[in-house]
């Protein structure tokens, strides 16, 4: 039997404990009823459709998880910051999200140059980061162990384009026109060149410009003189549209080739008919009949009355990979999330994902043809 004294002290300790736990629990609930995730996106600027699609997708995702909440009913809030596709801005808003908003992780940015500027900041703060779309290999290798992505990388994308143009289009001579100040553009240009030459083709022109340039006539005149079978334009839709118009008006009728940066509802709005007779590699096709794609298209359509592009698909996937990692970590501890991210193994809208040692998913690509002012599914390419 317990003595009265012992009983009294047991009781008081229990009571004290209850008071402390009570207070503690209250503060914890107040502070962490919400799980904040930073989202760094180009919501305005030259690639604004990318940021808008990404934000649309993340909102659908948050709504889906917030019906029940995660980790005992906590709600997910994406805190959005606009980097306008300017790497210096990406760094500033990353600091703000980490230091002021105290986000537990970051989704973003979109362009490789922007994600390259966020990676080291996330790494220093030990905040897990996942970019939906940045395909340049350096994003994760330079960013380090806290930086992941939801997309394939450009050595793969360059190879897919080179093989497709030599094997499927029978191209022997390729010209390339790329932006020297854009990591994505430089990388894709170089990986394509290497693979195209390995496939027995010849790169007859390798011309450059700078971000923001609007007159490409000098480079295109040089390119025209080499009569290429294909012309690779590894840039984003706005610049690609401009270049395509100038190329066609100089009489270049070669098939145009591009990468994922072409995927925008504004591609034809900027480039018009000049974009026809083109092919670009991409991350997903709305024509895919997998359950993940069908469900995602239905949800996106219901919310926004439009078909989601690859930006939306990858952003949805990136957010989902991250939230699932938080759930399987059972906590918002950065290292636990990072380890759970590395152990990802699931099927998403853009395909099945597991990570290699550099935190890159291995996954397939699709080729889209631009024809009669529309994007048409051409083929699927596995790694």
String of contacts with ligand PHE for each residue 123-162, x by CB under 6 A: ----------xxxx--------------------------
Nearer to ligand PHE, 58 or 223 (CB): 58
Tokens of 123: 């790494």
Closest CA to 176 of 186, 167, 164: 186
Tokens of 252: 């270049």
Stretch that binds ligand PHE, among 89-97, 106-114, 337-345, 359-367 (CB under 6 A): 106-114
Is residue 90 involved in binding ligand PHE (CB under 6 A)? no
As a whole number of angstroms, the distance between CA 107 and CA 134 comes to 11
To the nearest 10°, report the CA torsion of 338, 344, 348, 352.
140
Is residue 360 involved in binding ligand PHE (CB under 6 A)? no
Opening angle at CA 253, ends 247 and 259, nearest 5: 70
Q: Which residues pair with 365 in a beta bridge?
A: 381
Stretch that binds ligand PHE, among 13-21, 60-68, 110-118, 249-257 (CB under 6 A): 110-118
Among 260, 292, 324, 378, binds ligand PHE (CB under 6 A): 260
Nearer to ligand PHE, 58 or 252 (CB): 58
Is residue 85 involved in binding ligand PHE (CB under 6 A)? no
| H-type alpha helices, the chain | 4-32, 48-66, 87-99, 112-125, 138-143, 154-163, 183-198, 217-225, 237-249, 267-271, 291-304, 310-329, 334-342
As a whole number of angstroms, the distance between CA 298 and CA 209 comes to 41
Site for ligand PHE in 261-300 (CB under 6 A): 261, 263
String of contacts with ligand PHE for each residue 294-333, x by CB under 6 A: ----------------xx----------------------
In the bound complex, what is the minimum distance in angstroms from residue 261's beta carbon to ligand PHE? 4
Is residue 184 involved in binding ligand PHE (CB under 6 A)? yes
Interface positions with ligand PHE (CB under 6 A):
50, 110-112, 133-136, 184, 260-261, 263, 310-311
């Amino acid at each position: 039997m317990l003595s009265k004294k012992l009983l009294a002290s047991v009781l008081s300790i229990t009571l004290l404990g209850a008071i402390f736990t009570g207070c503690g629990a209250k503060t914890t609930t107040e502070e962490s009823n919400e799980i904040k995730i930073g989202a760094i996106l180009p919501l305005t600027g030259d690639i604004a459709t990318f940021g808008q699609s990404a934000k649309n997708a993340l909102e659908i995702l948050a709504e889906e998880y917030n019906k029940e909440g995660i980790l005992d009913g906590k709600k997910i809030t994406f805190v959005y910051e606009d980097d306008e596709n300017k790497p210096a801005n990406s760094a500033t808003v990353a600091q703000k999200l980490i230091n002021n908003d105290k986000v537990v992780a970051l989704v973003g940015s979109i362009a490789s140059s922007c994600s390259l500027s966020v990676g080291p900041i996330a790494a220093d703060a030990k905040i897990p980061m996942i970019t939906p779309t940045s395909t340049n290999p350096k994003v994760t290798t330079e960013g380090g162990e806290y930086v992941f992505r939801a997309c394939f990388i450009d050595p793969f994308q360059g190879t897919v384009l080179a093989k497709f143009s030599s094997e499927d289009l029978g191209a022997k001579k390729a010209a390339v026109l790329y932006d020297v100040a854009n990591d994505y553009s430089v990388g894709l240009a170089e990986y394509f060149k290497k693979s195209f030459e390995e496939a027995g083709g010849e790169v007859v022109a390798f011309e450059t410009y700078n971000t923001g340039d609007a007159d490409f006539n000098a480079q295109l005149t040089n390119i025209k003189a080499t009569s290429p079978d294909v012309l690779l334009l590894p840039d984003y839709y706005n610049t690609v549209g401009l270049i395509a118009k100038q190329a066609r008006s100089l009489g270049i009728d070669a098939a145009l080739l591009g990468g994922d940066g072409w995927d925008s509802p504004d591609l034809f709005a900027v480039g018009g008919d000049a974009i026809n007779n083109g092919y670009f590699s991409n991350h997903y096709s709305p024509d895919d009949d997998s359950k993940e794609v069908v469900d995602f298209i239905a949800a996106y359509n219901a919310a926004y009355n439009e078909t989601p592009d690859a930006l939306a698909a990858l952003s949805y996937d990136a957010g989902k990979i991250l939230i699932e990692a938080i759930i399987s970590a059972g906590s918002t501890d950065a290292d636990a999330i990072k380890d759970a991210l590395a152990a990802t193994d699931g099927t998403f809208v853009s395909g099945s994902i597991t990570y290699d040692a550099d935190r890159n998913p291995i996954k397939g690509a699709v080729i889209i043809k631009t024809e009669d002012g529309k994007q048409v599914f051409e083929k699927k390419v596995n790694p």
